[in-house]
Amino acid sequence: AKEPVRVLVTGAAGQIGYALVPMIARGVMLGTDQPVILHMLDIPPAAEALNGVKMELVDAAFPLLKGVVATTDAVEACTGVNIAVMVGGFPRKEGMERKDVMSKNVSIYKAQASALEQHAAPNCKVLVVANPANTNALILKEFAPSIPAKNITCLTRLDHNRALGQISEKLNVQVSDVKNVIIWGNHSSSQYPDVNHATVNTAAGEKPVRELVKDDAWLNGEFITTVQQRGAAIIKARKLSSALSAASSACDHIRDWVLGTPEGTWVSMGVYSDGSYNVPAGLIYSFPVTCRNGEWTIVQGTDAILYPMSFLSPIAFCF
């Protein structure tokens, strides 16, 4: 039998946490043959709720779940973890300036970065979900210099999946037949969802999305704004943020990173820039990537049409 993998979820008592932990315990993230031990961190005001989640995990009797650590202590939470999904944080609220959110997240991510750096398993893979996701990942990277930069990523897979979903609805095709959209930039409304290399698997072979969707005005307009503003649309409809799809996409991100992307397919991940596409080196930026043997590689040569630099949000330059 395989050794259990320890997976940390911060903010585990929150909405995304509640959707995410059962997916991990069912094998959606790492495979249905991979036992897991869940580490859940939240803050003291949420300790009771966190314990309630732990009780439900016990009650669900997940065969793959070999243990649960539920704690408000960052060191205990980070000890020995192989994968860290950072969902806890301080999102921007109405009336708050960006710099106020930044200073709160700097202190949170500074502390959690040191706990991970000192106590996580070697080669721990980190996925930051909490907004501002790219910036929080950058803060974590700055304060955990001994964690390899390639191990610190942020979630733009939800935006990627949203783009696949919009194309599949427009063309009335299965979403699993659509691939190779790209999300460039930040997980925010400044991102650029790009379909210029996306294809659909049809009875007549693989066809470019641009050829099948004859409506260029839609592709260049409504499609882009729908993907960029989908998070706000979900909040308006549900009065809560998009927890189910965020949790599912976080599982997709880690699964593809650890187990590899299918041949001929790329996915979008927020990763540290090596200068590809003239994105300044060291920023956390969403690129098309392929994954193999637990490592991501930025796909080159997809920039014939656009200029991702213009979509960089100034907040990414805070370091």
**Binding site for NAD(+): which residues?**
11-17, 42, 105, 129-131
Q: Which is nearer to ligand NAI, 162 or 179 (CB)?
A: 162
CB neighbour burial string for 41-70, b if at least 16 within 10 angstroms, e if fewer: bbeeebeeebeebbeebeeeebebbbebbb
Closest by CA position to 154, among listed 81, 89, 101: 89
**What are the residues binding ligand NAI (CB under 6 A)?**
10-11, 13-17, 41-43, 46, 87-89, 91, 108, 129-131, 133, 155, 158, 187, 241-243, 246
Q: Which residue sits closest to ligand NAI, CB atoms considered?
A: 14
- Could you tell me the smallest distance in angstroms from the CB atom of residue 133 to ligand NAI? 4
- 34 within 8 A of 66, measured Cβ to Cβ: no
Binding residues for substrate: 92, 98, 131, 162
Binding residues: 11-17, 42, 92, 98, 105, 129-131, 162
Q: Which is nearer to ligand NAI, 46 or 152 (CB)?
A: 46
197 is catalytic: no
Q: Which is nearer to ligand NAI, 39 or 170 (CB)?
A: 39
- Could you tell me the smallest distance in angstroms from the CB atom of residue 237 to ligand NAI? 14
Side chain identity at 211, as an amino acid letter? E
Q: CB-hemisphere CA count at 13 Å for 22?
A: 14
Report the distance separating Cα 238 and Cα 261, nearest Å: 32
Q: Which is nearer to ligand NAI, 2 or 238 (CB)?
A: 238
- Could you tell me the smallest distance in angstroms from the CB atom of residue 25 to ligand NAI? 17
- Among candidate residues 39, 119, 160, 187, the one labeled active-site is 187
- Could you tell me the smallest distance in angstroms from the CB atom of residue 300 to ligand NAI? 25
> Hey, which residues are catalytic here?
187
